[in-house]
A and B are shown apart, each in its own frame.
Chain A
């Protein structure tokens, strides 16, 4: 009898603790991180389940991009991927990361290599909207794609297929703030 009372008390108090923290722990729903990193107080932490999904949300929802998402979180550039844009992200699938020499990804994910990781990821983002058709048009006009790092990437078209800097575009996904072009390779300098 007394033990039951105690259990109820514990339950109530736990509930209380959850409610007490509710307002503070909002951001945890969008990340697996155990504590709330300060950078996540940016736009990436805006709660909105009604609007069309943005680049970050689509990537998080894609099983084939779990490595990319981990990398984005490690580089702490989530806020950039939810920005008004428009942005075009060339998103390598997990296999693309797996194809890199062994240990490359683990090494990049180390906190001390955050700068390098950010540069590599930024090289996959272009200001502007370029879906498959746009890429073909750019190629036909002989224009390269200007990336956020300042590099220009060459677009090659062969029939229906499009390659950007040697990475094949597997699909184009329209998101609320730009385009995700799924690619089969990590675009390295």
Chain B
């Protein structure tokens, strides 16, 4: 008996050893599970993250705010898409934000957020983002984290090489991906070549208020302008755009735009052009584009249709624009923190091309050109080349910098981030991504002063990274620690929509100035009520304007009579609270619109056209307080011909 037990225990130990040995290679390779890595992304309850990360939402049209290193999402900022969560684009105040020359466009494809800069460093005033589909640029306040301004970009289509800011936020730049007839006209598509044009727009930013205005548009040859980045430091004053389809193909671009061995990076000296237009240069062209501005004090947006844009023909300003030959349809066009290196990622190539700013200037001064394209001088590839990164990866897309002399490039096809050294062009490290990475982001990685602690890789393909949720999934992102010699994968998190580019900034630059609520005394909305005593209802024909107040936990008034079928009822609701994080919501039964979510001190309006006689309730949609469930009211709707007078009350006290 004893022997059997001994034998059994030996067998058990051997098998246990097998289990352990059998499993260990996997647990060993899953470095992210080890406790030290877990601790590095763990932000304890009540603690806060080190960085803000603003990820574009792609086809969600919006911008999401995350914390790094935790990967927690804090907010979705509605920008180009209607957002029923807050009523953005549904409220009367925000509908004008979606006005365009094509009418009301309540969606877009948001791509490349960029934070405003001063002296080439992030200043945390605003973040800009482009709408790709119906060309627009938006400006978002980084104190309210709300969209404050949207400007449409005429003569543009597929607004992709946007919205990158120059070193002092003099301009936010928007370049067209699809060239189009300029001005638009009825013409055969196959007469594209030579006739279609690519507009690169330089939108000035008012240094005080951030207000945008198209200063000038450069009407370039009909290539596709893919991405852009500003020069910085010594190359400040220049802007670099990658181009593809220099073949000027108008069909089956996947083949026909991939024929030329080299396309171009367009180097544009905007300071020269700025001086040219300041001295009266350029041609005013009739155009139609909307300029929509949200005013924080009135809590209202207004839309203005502009009728004219100043255009510049490249051949009229010699010395301002040059083409740098760059292999194989370059996608990313990134400039290192010193401003010396311009990196072109030929997306069909295995190698990265690095151009030298100094060499470019020398070649320009020596007038060493290799012909021209539509009158724009082409420099010799060899004359401007600083080096080639033989990466060993496939499908390079985008590069960011850590400020310590290293660059990090994403490779879509080989699904990896490759770290390499500026100057030696040597590959130092490579890490897989999950899967097929697009952009990557290092906070400040597109400025003179990157904060090179983390890189976030944003992937296009998710597959099996998370629990399955059917065919449609959110995209995955990975955070790597880049503070050491080798990149370390820390964490993997789902994102919202399709993040293209992102922008990050240290928390201490934004958190202290984040707004907590709007001051009631500053509320200049025409229908605002700054105390519940001021509430009123006005009838103008069949239009009824109800100025209503909300405060924990009731509406003033909450009983309204005298509304008739066929009326157009405007609710103007002012949240009387003056306390951080006490929003009130408003929803009316059967209203053909979204709710309103009203922040303390804010006024929002929505329209209700009652169609049925009856007594209809409305309520607060935000669990504002312990008596939130009691926060409701009734509106009596009488027949169209009724003679019931308007009457409004609270707790039986008539207020009119």
Contact = CB atoms under 8 A, between A and B. Distances in A.
Interface of A: 2, 6, 9-10, 13-14, 16-17, 20-21, 24-25, 35-36, 38-39, 41-43, 46-48, 77, 79-80, 83-87, 115, 118, 122, 127-129, 134, 138, 143, 146, 148-150
B25 A35 contact: yes
B596 to A, nearest CB: 41
26 contacts: A2-B4, A6-B8, A6-B11, A9-B8, A9-B11, A13-B11, A13-B12, A21-B19, A24-B23, A24-B26, A25-B26, A41-B432, A42-B434, A43-B415, A43-B434, A43-B436, A43-B463, A79-B432, A80-B394, A80-B413, A83-B395, A84-B461, A85-B413, A127-B413, A146-B258, A148-B350
A150 B350 contact: yes
Contacts of A46: 435, 463-464
B515 interface: no
B392 to A, nearest CB: 7
Interface in B229-261: 254-255, 258-259
Contacts of B4: 2, 6
B437 to A, nearest CB: 11
Nearest to A87: B413
Given A21-B22, A42-B434, A127-B395, 11 more contacts: A2-B4, A6-B11, A13-B15, A16-B19, A20-B23, A48-B464, A83-B395, A83-B435, A138-B255, A148-B348, A150-B350
B414 A80 contact: yes
B629 interface: no
Interface string B384-423: 0000000010110000000000000000111100000000
Nearest to A9: B8
Nearest to A82: B435
B487 to A, nearest CB: 14
Contact of B461 (A43, A87, A148): A43
Nearest to B349: A150
B18 interface: yes
Nearest to B414: A80
B21 to A, nearest CB: 10
Given A127-B258, A128-B254, A42 B394 contact: no
A14 B25 CA distance: 19
A122 B350 CA distance: 10
Given A41-B29, A42-B432, A10 B11 contact: yes
B27 interface: yes
A150 B351 contact: yes
A36 B23 CA distance: 10
A172 to B, nearest CB: 16
B271 to A, nearest CB: 36
A28 to B, nearest CB: 10
Nearest to A3: B4
Given A6-B8, A25-B26, A41-B432, A118 B255 contact: no
Interface string B312-327: 0000000000000001
A36 B26 contact: yes
B77 to A, nearest CB: 29
A147 B252 CA distance: 18
Contacts of A149: 350
Contacts of A25: 22, 26
B415 A146 contact: no
Interface string B115-141: 000000000000000000000000000
Contact of A17 (B22, B258, B259): B22
Contacts, number: 109
Contacts of B611: none
Q: Closest 6 interchain pairs by CB?
A: A24-B26, A43-B435, A13-B15, A17-B19, A46-B463, A127-B348
Contact of B460 (A14, A84, A86): A84
B75 interface: no
B160 interface: no
Nearest to A2: B4
B415 A79 contact: yes
A13 B13 CA distance: 10
Given A38-B29, A84-B460, A122 B22 contact: no
A10 B15 contact: yes
Given A42-B435, A48-B463, A84-B436, A6 B328 contact: no
A46 B432 CA distance: 14
Contacts of A79: 414-415, 432, 435
A152 B572 CA distance: 66
Nearest to B327: A150
A13 B11 CA distance: 9
B461 to A, nearest CB: 6
Contacts of A20: 19, 22-23
Given A17-B19, A43-B463, A127-B258, A36 B25 contact: yes
A39 B432 contact: yes
B539 interface: no
B7 interface: yes
A24 B27 contact: yes
B18 A17 contact: yes
A9 B22 CA distance: 19
Contacts of B254: 86, 128-129
A48 B328 CA distance: 33
B500 to A, nearest CB: 16
A17 B392 CA distance: 39
Nearest to A16: B19
A108 B293 CA distance: 64
A85 B412 CA distance: 9
Determine which residue in B4, B18, B394, B412 has the highest number of CB atoms from chain A within 10 A of its CB, and name it: B394
A2 B5 CA distance: 10
Contacts of B395: 83, 127
A36 B29 contact: yes
Contact of A128 (B7, B255, B412): B255
A83 B413 contact: yes
Contacts of A43: 415, 434-436, 461, 463
Nearest to A20: B19
Contacts of A77: 414
Nearest to B4: A2
Contacts of B461: 43, 84
B436 A83 contact: yes
B205 to A, nearest CB: 37
Tell which of B16, B26, B254, B328 has the most Cβ of chain A within 10 Å. Answer: B26
Contacts of B328: 146, 150
Contacts of A118: 392
Contacts of A35: 25
B394 A148 contact: yes
Interface string B442-463: 0000000000000000001101
A52 to B, nearest CB: 14
A129 B259 CA distance: 14
B11 to A, nearest CB: 6
Interface string B336-358: 00000000000011110000000
A42 B464 CA distance: 10
A6 B7 contact: yes
Contacts of A10: 11, 15
A140 to B, nearest CB: 13
B434 to A, nearest CB: 7
Nearest to B27: A24
A143 B257 CA distance: 12
Given A122-B394, A127-B348, A146-B348, A42 B415 contact: yes
A26 to B, nearest CB: 9
A68 B19 CA distance: 34
A16 B414 CA distance: 37
